[in-house]
Every structure is written in structure tokens, then in C-alpha cells.
Amino acid sequence: MTATTTTVDDLRHCRHLCRLPTSGGYHQRIRNRRNHHHHYKVHGNPMDVLSQKLRKLKSLLKDFNKEFYSDIHKRVVLAHDELSILQTQRLALPYDVTLHESEKDALLKYTDLVAAEEDFNRQKSRVKWLALGDQNSKFFHKKVKSHVVRSKILSICDENGIRLDEPVAVKAEILGFYKKLLGEKRFVPSVWS
């Protein structure tokens, strides 16, 4: 039997945890949790160790999500309102240093919450894609159609900087470019060599 110690530092390579908001004491609260769970001993074979670590991580991430991301939209609106009030006060008292510091902190808090809200919405959209994306549904076909439209080349500039809009001319320019780049000769590998 082997014993290992798990810490939140073991998760330092996880890119989502590294993008935590910088204000609001988030990093300090994470450090406090890490220190609280620092000496979590895990015993057993490697598969049991992994399973226990993942179970512990799941509970930590649930708590983290509840504390930092619960009702994120409402928190963004409140932070925006707080920032607006401070900015209005700063207009009335432009030389007040404490108001300046308060506004700076409120702006940092607001930008962090907006980033967290965007991240939350991005993850939510990915969940929707996983649920609906690979089905033969209206949602899937709408996404495919938008991808085709975005990746279509409608115009191109030739070597002389002249813009070509006609589909035939665009196709000829692209083919000419790659023929020039790669050469005219086609290489067909032999099955027997």
C-alpha cells in the first residue's frame, strides 16, 4: 500500500482553475481551502488513489462553483451598479483618493465577474452542444450551415493586389497559387514500392 498526499497545488496545470478572478480574495480563499485539505491521505492501488482523489476533487469543485459562480448574472449587475455609483461620486469629487481606490477595486471586481460570466456562458453553450450537437436536429444543421458560411471564400486578392469577387476567378487564383507553390507535377505513390 502506498500513501500519497493530495493538494490543490496538484491542480496547478488545470487551465480553468488558473483563470480565476484576481479580485474578491478568490486566490486567498482557494489557498485557505488548499491548506484545510492539504494533508488528505490516500491509500490503495493507483486506481483507488485516482478514484479517491477525483471524488475529493468533485466535492471541492462543487463548493468552489457554488461560492464563486452561483447567481453570476445578478452579481455582475450588482457590481456594475456599484461601479456606476462610485464613478458618479468621482465626478463630483475628482480629487478624493479613497473614492479613486474604491473605483479601481470596483472596476477590477466588475471585470473579473464579467469574465467569469462569459466563461460560465461558454461552458453552458458547450453543454448544449453536447446535448444537441450530434443529433440530426435543427440545431445541428444550423451550426453546420453557419460554419459553411463562415469558411466560404467570397473574394481574394491576386499577386497584383486586385480584388477578385467572381467565384470562377477566385477558384482559378487559389489553384494557380498552390500550383505555383507546390508545382505542376503530381506525385502518386506506388503501391508496390
- The answer to whether residues 125 and 157 belong to one domain is no
Which of 47-51, 98-102, 189-193 is the most confident on average? 98-102
| More confident of the two residues 98 and 14 | 98
- The answer to whether residues 7 and 56 belong to one domain is yes
DSSP secondary structure letters along 166-190: SHHHHHHHHHHHHHHHH-SPPP---
C-alpha cell at 174: 487559389
- The answer to whether residues 25 and 78 belong to one domain is no
Rounded to an integer, the average pLDDT of 2-12 is 45
Residues 75 and 86: beta-carbon distance below 8 Å: no
The pLDDT value given to residue 64: 78
The pLDDT value given to residue 32: 65
The pLDDT value given to residue 3: 43
Kindly state whether residue 145 falls inside one of the protein's structural domains.
Answer: no
The pLDDT value given to residue 39: 59
- The answer to whether residues 23 and 63 belong to one domain is yes
Residues 47 and 141: beta-carbon distance below 8 Å: no
Kindly state whether residue 98 falls inside one of the protein's structural domains.
Answer: yes
The pLDDT value given to residue 2: 43
- The answer to whether residues 57 and 86 belong to one domain is no
Instruction: Give per-residue pLDDT as tens, 63-86.
Output: 877 877 788 889 999 999 999 999
Binning pLDDT at 50, 70 and 90, where does residue 98 land?
very high
Q: How many domains does the chain have?
A: 3
- The answer to whether residues 22 and 78 belong to one domain is no
Tell me the residue range of the domain where 23 lies: 2-70
